[in-house]
Structure 1
Amino acid sequence: MKVSDMMVTVLHTITSDKSVAHAAERMSENRVNSLLVMDHGEVIGMLTPRDICASHPNRIVADAMGPGPICISSDQTVWDAGRMMEEHGVEQALIMAEDELAGWITRENIMIKLAEFRDPLTGLFRAPYIQTIGERLLYEKKQFHLLFIDLNNFGQINKRYGHPFGDDVIREYSALLASMLDERHDYVSRYAGDEFVVISMAADDQIQSYINQMETPIGIRHMQVSAAVGHVNGYLDPNFFTYSFRELIEKASLLSTSTKQRLTGTVL
């Protein structure tokens, strides 16, 4: 999902020479909690209720306003937008479309929308998230590594110890998986059941380190849990951009199956 799908297109503005009291009236009349401060068609700041409370009513907006919000392209995904706003510590962002101001969005609304895409068991994003990231990178002709991660013998864990215990294993493995990745260049999702997908722009040696960690048994409760990893390297495949993201997932999944056979000696 892109920010353009959920942005607010009605913009409430005020000029910097108006009084703080007038700005407070504008907010109340329009039932908004922020005003864009614009002079001569340019955004120069943002005014919030906090700014108003901290200023005398007779002061002008220029003295009370905070810095202008960050700008986000209308084709940014809500996931990237949320991450960007968190990094800058801002609550609102302007949406630009072809260098034109198209609307605005709040961090709160983004967080509410993102919650719809989170897996309730693990807290990781679900498959639509990783699909959106992958399709966007393919569209932008940006290469990446795709890892398809399938836990080994998970069906036996469920059969032997029960599904609630299996859920505990999935939850704890998810936390370990997320902790080994770097948000600056890695994206992870719980794809389905005991399967996970990672998209990464890390260097080859880092990817190999990831795979080694994932395939090495780790202790979770009283179990030793490992995974079979299928790796599609978009930096080495000359035909990488001829594939759809679905086809790349299929390739990585089949490679994971081959790895599982090698690691466990199981014929699938």
Structure 2
Amino acid sequence: MIVSDIMTTDLHTITSEKSVAHAAERMNENHVSSLIVVEHDDVIGIMTSRDVRSSHPNRIVADAMTSETINMSVDQSIWDADRLIRNSGIEEILILDEERLVGRVTREAVLMRIAEYTDPLTGLFRAPYIQSIGERLLKEGTPFHLLFIDLNNFGQINKLYGHPFGNDVIREYSNVLSDLMDDRYDFLSRYAGDEFVVISTADDNHVFSYLEIMEKPIDIRHVQISAAVGHVNGYLDSDFFSLSLRELMERASLLSTSAKNRSVSRPY
């Protein structure tokens, strides 16, 4: 999912010598919360409803606008847009096709689309997120660590303690994983059921420390919960870039199953 899928091409512009009052009128007329400020066909800023509220009506747009715009290219992912919006607190992103302005994406549009790919139980992104990240990194030729995490004996836990307790296990373990992640190089999703996937561009030492924590049993209401982790290391595997993401996921999943079969301890 890329930003061009959710952008609007309905662009409303204003020139910098117009008054703030005029900008407010344009926004009301067109039912928009911002105007793109242009001079000689070049974008020099953005006038938002926040800028209007904090400025005197008689000021000119050049003095009231936000001069530093946030731009993305049409082929960047909505996950990139979500991270950019959350980190910067901006309300709108301008979308460029090479150097040409072709659309805009609002915070509301991004958050609405992101919500469709968010797991309601854990708050984590679901499988399409990690697939998008992995495919992008492979396309860029960027190596990464792929971790496939599968909780041990989860079906038996549900049978012994009930599905509400099973939901508690999923939530608690997802919190453990979330606390480990670093936004600079880690990507986490709930893949399916009791399975999670992490993609990380961190160095080996970081990832090995993750593995140690992920595989360590944790207590949830006096019940021990553990996981089996399959690890594919894109920095060491010679055939890494000859495989598709699906094939890498299958390899990591099989490694997780092997780790599960080697486990002799019961998590309950």
TM-score range, shorter chain: over 0.9
Distance 1:53 1:189 in 2: 39
Q: Secondary structure at the match of 2:33?
A: coil
Q: Does 1:247 align with 2:247?
A: yes
Partner of 1:56: 56
State the match for 2:118 in structure 1: 118
Map 1:130-169 onto structure 2 (within 5 A).
130-169=130-169
Query: What are the equivalent positions in structure 2 for 1:35-46 lying under 5 Å apart?
Result: 35-46=35-46
Q: Match of 1:216?
A: 216
Aligned to 1:11: 11
- Aligned partners of 1:58 and 1:164: how far apart in 2? 60
The question of whether the paired residues in 2 share the 8 Å contact of 1:4 and 1:74 is answered with yes
CA shift, 1:69, in A, is 2.1
Equivalent AA in structure 2 for residue 85 of structure 1:
I
Per-residue deviation at 1:265?
7.0
Alignment of 1:219-230 (within 5 A): 219-230=219-230
Structure 2 distance, partners of 1:46, 1:246, is 41
Per-residue deviation, 1:88: 1.9
Aligned length: 266
Q: Indicate the RMSD between aligned Cα atoms, in angstroms.
A: 1.3
- Secondary structure of the structure 2 residue equivalent to 1:264: coil
Cα distance in structure 2, aligned partners of 1:259 and 1:8: 48
Give the counterpart letter for 1:58 in structure 2. Answer: N
Which residue number in structure 2 is paired with residue 203 of structure 1? 203
Aligned to 1:87: 87
Q: CA shift at 1:11, angstroms?
A: 1.1
Alpha-carbon distance between aligned partners in 2 of 1:56 and 1:227, rounded to the nearest angstrom = 59
Helix, strand or coil at the partner of 2:263: helix
Alpha-carbon separation, structure 2, partners of 1:189 and 1:39: 43
Deviation at 1:51, TM superposition (A): 2.0
Quote the residue 1:26 is aligned against: 26
Cα distance in 1 for residues equivalent to 2:73 and 2:225: 42
TM value normalised by structure 1? 0.95
CA distance in structure 2 between the aligned counterparts of 1:265 and 1:54, rounded to whole angstroms: 62
Helix, strand or coil for the counterpart of 2:232?
strand
Q: Report the counterpart of residue 71 of structure 1 in structure 2.
A: 71
CA apart distance, 1:45: 1.6
Aligned equivalents of 1:216 and 1:265: distance in 2?
A: 12
Alpha-carbon offset, residue 158 of structure 1: 0.5
- CA distance in 1 between partners of 2:196 and 2:99 (Å): 38
Query: Which residue in 2 is equivalent to 1:129?
Result: 129
Q: Equivalents in 2 of 1:51, 1:211: separation in Å?
A: 47
How many Å separate the matches in 1 of 2:262 and 2:124? 28
Determine the C-alpha separation between the residues in 1 that align with 2:57 and 2:80: 38
CA deviation string 1:41-83 (max 9, x = no partner)? 2222211223223333222111221233211111111011110
5+ residue gaps, structure 1 = none
Within 2, Cα distance between the matches of 1:11 and 1:157? 54
For residues 49 and 82 of structure 2, the distance between their equivalents in structure 1, rounded to whole angstroms, comes to: 22
Letter aligned with residue 224 of structure 1: Q
For 1:265 and 1:167, the matched residues in 2 are separated by 22
Matched residues, percent identical?
A: 64
Check whether the contact 1:43–1:68 (CA below 8 A) recurs between aligned residues. Answer: no
Question: Which segment drifts farther, 153-162 or 46-55?
Answer: 46-55
With structure 2 as the length reference, what TM-score do the two structures score?
0.95
- Equivalent-residue separation in structure 1 for 2:239 and 2:96 (angstroms): 34
CA distance in 1, matches of 2:179, 2:123: 13
